[in-house]
Amino acid sequence: MKHTLLAFLAIASIPFVIAWLVPDEHVRRRESFRAMIAEISSNVRAQSSAFDDTCINASTTVDLTQIRRSYEELRSVYKSMEPLVEYIDPSAVSTYINGSPLPKLDVKSQFVDIIEPQGLQVIDEVLYNDDSLSNEDLLQLRALSSSLRTSMQAISGVMISAPWTDRMIIEAARSGVLRITAMGITGFDRPASEPHITDDIPALKTIKRSLELFGPALTSRGKGALLNNAMSLADTAASLMNGSSFNNIDRATLIRTALDPLYGRCADIQLALEIEVSTEIGPSEVIVNPTARSMFQTDVLYPSAASGITRVSISPILVELGRTLFFDPILSSTGERACASCHDPSRGFTDGRTTSIALGRGGSLDRNAPTLINAVHARRFFSDLRAMRVRDVIAHVVTNENEFNSTLLEMVGRLRSSNEYITLFSQAFGGNGPESVDATNVGIAIGAYLTTLVSFNSRFDRYLRGESVSISEAERRGFSLFMGRAACASCHFPPTYAGYVPPSFTDSESEIIGVPLRQDTINATADPDPGRAGGIDRENSVIYSGSFKTPTVRNIALTAPYFHNGAYMTLEGVVDFYARGGGRGIGLSVPYQTLPFDNLNLSVQDRDDLVAFMKALTDTVGLTRRPSQLPRMSTRVFQKRVIGGEY
Amino acid sequence: MRMLILIAALVAATFAMRAQDFPVRIEPVTMTPYLQGRVVVPPSPLKYQNIFVGGVDTVETGTGRAAAKQWHDYIGYVSDPTGTSLGWAIVNHEMIESNDKIGDGGGMTMFKLGKKADGTVEVLPQTLSDGRSGKFFNVDFANTVGETGMNCGGISWSGRVWTAEEWYQTNNKAIYSDGKGFRDTTDFEIGKMQPSGFAGLDGKKIKRYENLNWMVEIDPKNAKAVRKQYNWGRQGFEAGVIMDDQKTVYLFEDGDAGKSLLSKFVAETPGDFTKGDLYFYKQDAGQFTGTWVKVPNNPATDWNILVAPHAWAKTQGITGFTRLEWGQINKTDGKIYITETGNDKPGSRYKSALAEGWTLPKHTYDRAAAQGFAVDSSAYWDYYGRVLVFDPTDNSVKSYIEGGPYITDAQAVPGLYPEKHLSNPDGIGFLYVNGKTFMVIEEDLNGTNFGRMPNTGMRGTNCEAWLLDMSKAPTFDNLYRLAISPYGSEITGFASFDDGNTVLINSQHPDNATIGDAAAKNSLTFAITGMKQLVSSIDKDQEDRPQGVVMVYPNPTSSQLNFSEPTDAALYDASGARVRVVRSATTVDIADLASGVYYIRTADGATQLVVIQR
């Protein structure tokens, strides 16, 4: 019997051995890919050296035009490398090559050490903030250009020596399409110079060349049409860009007819060739669903590791337990309030109040209750980003005297006094008896429930992913403004329209925008809330003073009032605040404001269009179901609880 | 059994019909066993064991049991002179939390190790002098010498252990941490709970934060705090070394870049470290050699200097290192090897240090010159750090092995990510086995960029522990990969027992919150036994790796599969669906897959049945 099996396996494996003896098309593909990389890195080396030399040789008075031209040339060749290096070494890109021009903290230092930004975007500000170059500017520029030159050579080294596989080549291309869509066409990385909608054409060309490498393999499998389609989609994107301008391009059409289908086609090619996808590599975290056909589909992102849940560990029974806990006021010391008290499904999981009512109705909390929809895509939680995990959020809420005013032990004790809860926990966690009810498992269950509160199915999403729905002209214009001239998407990145940074979504951003204490543009008063600087101790720095998590714009029609302090009641008011240049624009002193503080010059129609677009992002279908009953207590206390809390 | 085989054959038939092509092949490049969800060590002859799991194992506090703290770092150790056990280990917890049972702040956990007949180890039950009984014991700092925080490195010497706290504190608000840290921020009265051991100091009241960041002596066998070493100065200490003269102590600070101290203390009487002189290192201009500058260090009279020694040091032109981590003496050559972790672009830090009056070491100037930048230029980089060597005979400090390699476009070989990349060395130790001396270097990555991770498009980090045979040149080629810790974690702590045959290592703060068993999810102390056989086989392993048939083991398995050589491989479930693909790998993490029958196909074309069984 054993021999039969071995013989069977030997026979079964013959075709594969033969397959490997055939001269591999992958060898040719790899050689072509390496040649492309070599060409790109040599262009980047030449231009970063030329730019550095230009800066070194320049004198202040005459050479600004020449330096700017050299910078544009460098930027253009860098764009052709960007899809590859952004994929292979995203940290080096954001820290030294093309990260935002804002100071950051050294997370590995035991001190609160500020790291000054470097790279193309800082150079952009030095070169374009005004039309002159002081001696000081030039010194700064030289330091930046020599550092950039070194960084470019090092990142090229990483790119060349990387163990590129077919999976990585296709995923880099795919990630590049996402980056162009979510950031490139927003003018995100030109903080001072005039953005051009054609800026990303070199990146598009590299994506096209990468996919083209798979042409022979696809053809030999009779799937050549896939590649032809991908090529024509890339061409369509380029011709739409070439035929328009940054302010006039119809971004909805660009995405619907070219970029989004191109994103899907990358996955089609990968699957057609049976190339492994990132979820097959191991159990480590994968954030972007490698097989999603659209950037705007419901499961385009997996829950982040911060949710405490992985894509493989979510079960319906766990979700139901989490839902029950979410609506059960047993988590609070008085049995009056549940998570749903402040996160009401009918209001997009907010409570409609400026700031929420405190437990016992004795006053109110410090901040506005945020929506929980798409919260599992965050890396950190609360407006001040102080919590790293969903279970930590729950611990904060349970122990806060104005929220649940309890302790984790007391909460577990209350849950354990219900035999029905003990049974539910035992079923969900495979444990036995009261031991399976503990604070960690409460966090995991609620985290599992939160993973179901995902919204990427608004009419606007469906339009962008090519379905037969229509959008109004106001919404269409509003989207282009949001993603362009009004500069909203440079912080509220699609597809979440929150501060979850594409294309890797490994970071949740916060911004200092200077929201006043009350909506008042004439006599604005500063809000003393320290924000992120008052969050975790290691971030107690001026660069985070008044900095708050960038929330999602999805479902914003349901979640008024707005901002961390709920100071603004209407979207029109919010748009006006931004149009005036945030806190600095209305006369507040906000030294580290991260929002551009110049007037956006938005017309009345522009403002109406923006609001129309934002209101088209509503989608809570299937998210609002409440449990029909709560588990019974085995003792007399807390027998009559109200589902979702009393108030 | 026959039934099982029958089922397997049927399953195999199904599989063959549905089998997909092996994913398009790429030329194997290097051994890149990264993004591991659990600790990986070389297979046979080594034996691997989980010994102490944070948050899961419980400590005896004297007033009941409590879940042990996490964030395992340094491992102090004491051999058992009687030979009836291997000895005692005491693990630092590099964290701050409020904890009613164990005490606020960081802490330490002690246990005793026994050797089993099969050569593996076990934690032995003990009863301590204070009456506590059990297997794991915390050290009470809060009610003795005052709290500690972020216990990181330390010193083990002659049955005594010191613990260090690198997290340098400057105010009470930070240590209070909204009630999550040190809840008691009233002034601390030295000597009130336990005499300090320093003349004229007891009764002095200091700010609570000022009682942190001193080296603290521990009685390891009794899990008791002995004293805070107020006469060594208050620094962001990471580690130290005590010399054979029983008087000289060298201390290493993980402080601010360009302002981290190298200190020396010389006791008046051998073994009594409460009296003696303190010195800071000042390198001679343009030379590797240096001199020691005496620091006023009577705690009763020089308190203001000792409590904030950097303010004094900068007025003396003391040499500021980047960030010194652990140091250890190599007993074979008498030199002290110290890790300096690096700082991506330290130029602005150095500018500030130079302006304050510090001097920088020659190896830093030399590196900057080689890059063509001034040392305080924002372009000067130091991504990977290094191991320094300090020679007590001439007081020289030089670079011993630089981290890296640093690969630019000019040096890169297409597709050849270096098989060995030494990044941000942190922990260090020596292993003396079979007449040979090995340095153990442990990484704590400061970042992933510029080659510190192979960057295969997957996120996360793995840190590695390396062995370096000290009889060979300090090159990357001569590094031997001893262990990889789970992603998100730092590999740290090193203690060796039983003539080096058994070592303990920590996996600190893995980021693997929901996958696998407790040992993969929590900070962990693990043991590797069989080092004697390993070191005699290292050279052989390095030179003639078996070629040809790939062996897959163990089978059945519960958490991972190993290959006898790096290979591409694909794992299929019983229905023929592909569930895992690895490239040029020596292991596959399968901890998340359900129990059952699977098939693995390796690059040599062979397919075999494997069973996952838990």
- Summarize the confidence of residues B58-78 as an average pLDDT: 93
Residues 142-181 of B with CB under 8 A from A: 150, 166-168, 174, 177
Indicate yes or no: CB of B24 within 8 angstroms of CB of A217: yes
The residues facing B388 across adjacent strands are B338, B399
Structure tokens at B267: 């006791």
Which helix (H) or strand (E) segment holds residue B527: the answer is strand B524-529
Structure tokens at B380: 């000067």
Q: Is A520 helix (H, G, I), strand (E, B) or coil?
A: coil
Indicate yes or no: CB of A157 within 8 angstroms of CB of B460: no
- Summarize the confidence of residues B203-226 as an average pLDDT: 97
Indicate yes or no: CB of A284 within 8 angstroms of CB of B407: no
Residue A266 CA to its chain's centroid (Å): 20
CA distance B98 to chain A (A): 14
- Yes or no: say if B339 and B491 are a contact pair by the CB < 8 Å rule: no
Indicate yes or no: CB of A89 within 8 angstroms of CB of B454: no
Q: How far is the C-alpha of A164 from the C-alpha of A89, rounded, in Å?
A: 12
Query: Residue B16: how many CB atoms within 10 A of its CB?
Result: 17
Q: What is the DSSP letter of A538?
A: G
Say yes or no: B351 contacts chain A, CB-CB below 8 A.
Answer: no
Say yes or no: B44 contacts chain A, CB-CB below 8 A.
Answer: no
Length of chain B: 614
Residues 13-32 of B with CB under 8 A from A: 13, 15-16, 19-27, 29-30, 32
Give B416's contacts in chain A (Cβ within 8 Å).
Answer: 161, 163
Sign of CA dihedral A340, A342, A346, A350: negative
Q: How confident is the model at residue B548 (pLDDT cuts 50, 70, 90)?
A: low
Q: Which pLDDT score, from 0 to 100, does residue B551 have?
A: 86
Cα dist. B599→A13, A283, B577, B581 in Å? 11, 18, 10, 12
Per-residue pLDDT at B2 exceeds 70:
no
Give B407's contacts in chain A (Cβ within 8 Å).
Answer: 154, 157-158, 160-161
Q: What is the DSSP letter of A97?
A: I
Q: Which amino acid is at B198?
A: F
CA atoms within 13 A on the CB side of B312: 20
Domain B47-543 coded CATH 2.130.10: yes
Residue B130 CA to its chain's centroid (Å): 31
CA distance B359 to chain A (A): 20
Which helix (H) or strand (E) segment holds residue A439: the answer is helix A439-450
Q: Name the segment(s) of chain B with CATH classification 2.130.10.
A: 47-543
- Yes or no: say if A93 and A183 are a contact pair by the CB < 8 Å rule: no
Q: Is the backbone peptide bond immediately before A503 cis, with ω within 30 degrees of 0? A: yes
Give A309's contacts in chain B (Cβ within 8 Å).
Answer: 514
Q: Which pLDDT score, from 0 to 100, does residue A16 have?
A: 46
Tell me which residue has tokens 């206390």.
A637
Q: Which amino acid is at A256?
A: R
Q: Is B590 helix (H, G, I), strand (E, B) or coil?
A: coil
Identify the residue among A11, A47, A88, A161 best suited for mutation to test binding to B, counting B beta carbons within 10 A and taking the highest. A161
Indicate yes or no: CB of A168 within 8 angstroms of CB of B449: no
Q: Which pLDDT score, from 0 to 100, does residue B421 have?
A: 93
Residue B114 CA to its chain's centroid (Å): 23
A153 in the Ramachandran plot: left (φ > 0), alpha (ψ -120 to 50) or beta? Answer: alpha
Say yes or no: B611 contacts chain A, CB-CB below 8 A.
Answer: no
The CA R_g of chain B, rounded to the nearest whole Å, is 25
Sign of CA dihedral A556, A558, A561, A565: negative
Q: Which amino acid is at B100?
A: D
CA distance A378 to chain B (A): 16
Indicate yes or no: CB of B454 within 8 angstroms of CB of A143: no
Q: Which amino acid is at A630?
A: L
Indicate yes or no: CB of B514 within 8 angstroms of CB of A444: yes
- Summarize the confidence of residues B238-250 as an average pLDDT: 97
Identify the residue among B1, B375, B381, B450 best suited for mutation to test binding to A, counting A beta carbons within 10 A and taking the highest. B450
CA distance B38 to chain A (A): 11
Q: Which pLDDT score, from 0 to 100, does residue A23 have?
A: 47
Low-confidence ranges of chain A (pLDDT < 70): 1-23, 60-62, 311-312
Sequence-distant (≥ 6) Cβ neighbours of residue A23 within 8 angstroms = none
Concatenated DSSP letters of A451-504: TT-----SHHHHHHTT-S----HHHHHHHHHHTTTT--TTTSBTTTTBSB-TTT
Q: How far is the C-alpha of A553 from the C-alpha of A563, rounded, in Å?
A: 11
CA distance B433 to chain A (A): 35
Indicate yes or no: CB of B26 within 8 angstroms of CB of A165: yes
Q: Which pLDDT score, from 0 to 100, does residue A7 have?
A: 46
Q: Is A119 helix (H, G, I), strand (E, B) or coil?
A: coil
Q: How far is the C-alpha of A646 from the C-alpha of A29, rounded, in Å?
A: 65
Q: Which pLDDT score, from 0 to 100, does residue B465 have?
A: 93
Say yes or no: B344 contacts chain A, CB-CB below 8 A.
Answer: yes
Q: Which pLDDT score, from 0 to 100, does residue A61 have?
A: 62
Q: Which pLDDT score, from 0 to 100, does residue B44 have?
A: 61
Q: Is B574 helix (H, G, I), strand (E, B) or coil?
A: coil
Give A162's contacts in chain B (Cβ within 8 Å).
Answer: 415, 417, 454-456
- Summarize the confidence of residues B271-294 as an average pLDDT: 98
Indicate yes or no: CB of A89 within 8 angstroms of CB of B450: yes
- Yes or no: say if B278 and B237 are a contact pair by the CB < 8 Å rule: no
Give A314's contacts in chain B (Cβ within 8 Å).
Answer: none
Q: How far is the C-alpha of A633 from the C-alpha of A419, rounded, in Å?
A: 7
Tell how strand B216-219 and strand B224-228 pair up. Answer: antiparallel
Q: Which pLDDT score, from 0 to 100, does residue B511 have?
A: 67
Q: How confident is the model at residue B488 (pLDDT cuts 50, 70, 90)?
A: confident
Q: How far is the C-alpha of B196 from the C-alpha of A75, rounded, in Å?
A: 63
Concatenated DSSP letters of A573-640: HHHHHHHTTHHHHTT---TT--S--S-----HHHHHHHHHHHHTT---TTT----S--PPPSSSTT-S
Q: How far is the C-alpha of A347 from the C-alpha of A350, rounded, in Å?
A: 5
Tell me which residue has tokens 């492309």.
A36
Structure tokens at A50: 């030329």
Give B605's contacts in chain A (Cβ within 8 Å).
Answer: 13, 16-17, 20
* Burial profile B399-418: b = 16 or more Cβ within 10 angstroms, e = fewer: bbbbbbebbbbeebebbebb
Q: Name the segment(s) of chain B with CATH classification 2.60.40.
A: 2-30+551-612
Indicate yes or no: CB of A166 within 8 angstroms of CB of B23: yes
- Yes or no: say if B354 and B376 are a contact pair by the CB < 8 Å rule: yes
Q: Which of A2, A12, A158 sits opposite B16 (nearest CB)?
A: A12
Give B8's contacts in chain A (Cβ within 8 Å).
Answer: 5
pTM: 0.91
Sequence-distant (≥ 6) Cβ neighbours of residue A59 within 8 angstroms = none
CA distance B203 to chain A (A): 31
CA distance A90 to chain B (A): 8
Give B548's contacts in chain A (Cβ within 8 Å).
Answer: none
Question: Closest-CA residue in chain A for B175?
Answer: A537
- Yes or no: say if A615 and A622 are a contact pair by the CB < 8 Å rule: no
Q: Which pLDDT score, from 0 to 100, does residue B516 have?
A: 56
Q: How far is the C-alpha of B556 from the C-alpha of B569, rounded, in Å?
A: 17
Q: Which pLDDT score, from 0 to 100, does residue B20 have?
A: 36
Sequence-distant (≥ 6) Cβ neighbours of residue A454 within 8 angstroms = A298, A299, A373, A374, A376, A623
Give B20's contacts in chain A (Cβ within 8 Å).
Answer: 274
Q: How confident is the model at residue B538 (pLDDT cuts 50, 70, 90)?
A: confident
Q: Which of A26, A106, A110 sits opposite B167 (nearest CB)?
A: A110
Q: Which pLDDT score, from 0 to 100, does residue A334 have?
A: 94
Sequence-distant (≥ 6) Cβ neighbours of residue A57 within 8 angstroms = none
Give A286's contacts in chain B (Cβ within 8 Å).
Answer: 458
A115 vs B494, higher pLDDT: B494
CA atoms within 13 A on the CB side of B200: 8
Q: Is B263 helix (H, G, I), strand (E, B) or coil?
A: strand
Q: Which pLDDT score, from 0 to 100, does residue B540 have?
A: 60
Residue among A94, A101, A85 nearest A153 (CA)? A85
- Yes or no: say if B453 and B444 are a contact pair by the CB < 8 Å rule: no
Cα dist. B120→B117, B127, B468, B469, B509 in Å? 7, 23, 24, 25, 25
For chain B, the distance separating the N- and C-terminal CA atoms, rounded to the nearest angstrom, is 18
Give A168's contacts in chain B (Cβ within 8 Å).
Answer: 456-457
Q: Is A444 helix (H, G, I), strand (E, B) or coil?
A: helix
Q: What is the CATH number of domain B2-30+551-612?
A: 2.60.40
Alpha-helix runs per DSSP H in A183-315: 201-212, 215-220, 224-242, 251-254, 260-272
Q: Is B366 helix (H, G, I), strand (E, B) or coil?
A: helix
Indicate yes or no: CB of B409 within 8 angstroms of CB of A41: yes
Question: Closest-CA residue in chain B for A169?
Answer: B457
**In this structure, what are the phi and psi dihedrals at residue A120, rounded to the nearest 5 degrees?**
-60, -40
- Percentage of chain B modeled with pLDDT above 70: 91
Concatenated DSSP letters of A132-176: ---HHHHHHHHHHHHHHHHHHHHHHHHHHHS---HHHHHHHHHHH
Identify the residue among A285, A388, A541 best suited for mutation to test binding to B, counting B beta carbons within 10 A and taking the highest. A285
